């Protein structure tokens, strides 16, 4: 990988070929253009971060609340019919906070469970055991198929992982992602969308592209 002039010579080495090469490829080998795309990606990730933060927190709290009510205990994972993979994710969360398996420590465990774990609870695997008796209530403004919702949540998870790692986003339809986030807000809470619009900087950063 070569730079177009001395002022750009530092960029490939500082950012590494493995990371920066994807931007170079997207910009036809133009280092200056690739760096502008890289900077824009950092900005758009920063703009999406608070929106994703509130989506993830609201989602996990809604699911946790319904499962705690369904099983009559805050540490519902101790009795819920989780898969082996789900149980392993709970165990890892417990290990991260070094707590015993007790109800008073449930909130600490909830905070450490991954978004992937929460999204998996809406998958077909748990349709009869969790979705039908409890988890559909976590989305009071959603009345469609569970599998369609699961697909939306998987898209959210993928976007979240890209944003958290400042990965290239130039091949994603970020405007569609933005709309999807607000759709999820509306499924979960009647007041969340308006609150997010007051802090939302994504449209401004997308315009800069």
106 within 8 A of 97, measured Cβ to Cβ: no
72 within 8 A of 80, measured Cβ to Cβ: no
Parts of the chain with a pLDDT under 70 = 1-6, 99-104
The Cα–Cα gap between 158 and 164 comes to 10
Do the domain assignments include residue 163?
Answer: yes
Do the domain assignments include residue 92?
Answer: yes
Do the domain assignments include residue 46?
Answer: no
Do the domain assignments include residue 184?
Answer: yes
For position 99, what pLDDT does the model report? 55
For position 57, what pLDDT does the model report? 96
Residue 182 domain boundaries? 52-199
For position 150, what pLDDT does the model report? 98
Give the predicted TM-score (pTM) of the model: 0.88
Do the domain assignments include residue 10?
Answer: no
Concatenating the DSSP letter of every residue in 180-207 gives HHHHHHHHH-TTHHHHHHTT--HHHHHH
Read off φ and ψ for residue 165, nearest 5 degrees.
-105, 10
- Length of the chain in terms of residues written: 209
For position 74, what pLDDT does the model report? 95
For position 200, what pLDDT does the model report? 96
154 within 8 A of 119, measured Cβ to Cβ: yes
Do the domain assignments include residue 31?
Answer: no
For position 1, what pLDDT does the model report? 42
**Number of domains the chain contains:** 1
Do the domain assignments include residue 18?
Answer: no
For position 101, what pLDDT does the model report? 53
Do the domain assignments include residue 14?
Answer: no
Give Cβ neighbours of residue 65 (< 8 Å, ≥ 6 apart).
Answer: 138
């Amino acid at each position: 990988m070569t730079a177009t002039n001395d002022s750009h010579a530092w960029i490939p080495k500082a950012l590494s070929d493995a990371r920066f090469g994807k931007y170079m490829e997207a910009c036809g080998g133009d280092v200056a253009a690739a760096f502008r795309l890289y900077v824009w990606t950092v900005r758009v990730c920063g703009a999406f971060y608070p929106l994703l933060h509130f989506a993830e927190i609201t989602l996990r709290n809604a699911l946790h609340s319904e499962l705690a009510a369904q099983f009559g205990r805050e540490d519902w994972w101790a009795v819920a019919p989780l898969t082996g993979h789900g149980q392993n994710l709970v165990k890892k969360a417990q290990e991260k906070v070094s707590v015993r398996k007790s109800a008073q420590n449930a909130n600490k465990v909830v905070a450490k469970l991954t978004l992937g774990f929460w999204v998996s609870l809406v998958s077909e695997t748990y349709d009869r055991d969790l979705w039908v008796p409890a988890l559909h209530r976590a989305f009071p403004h959603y009345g469609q198929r569970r599998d369609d919702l699961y697909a939306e949540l998987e898209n959210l998870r993928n976007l979240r992982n890209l944003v958290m790692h400042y990965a290239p986003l130039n091949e994603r339809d970020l405007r569609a992602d933005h709309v999807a986030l607000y759709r999820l807000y509306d499924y979960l809470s009647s007041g969340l969308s308006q609150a997010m619009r007051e802090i939302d900087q994504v449209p401004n950063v997308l315009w800069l592209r």
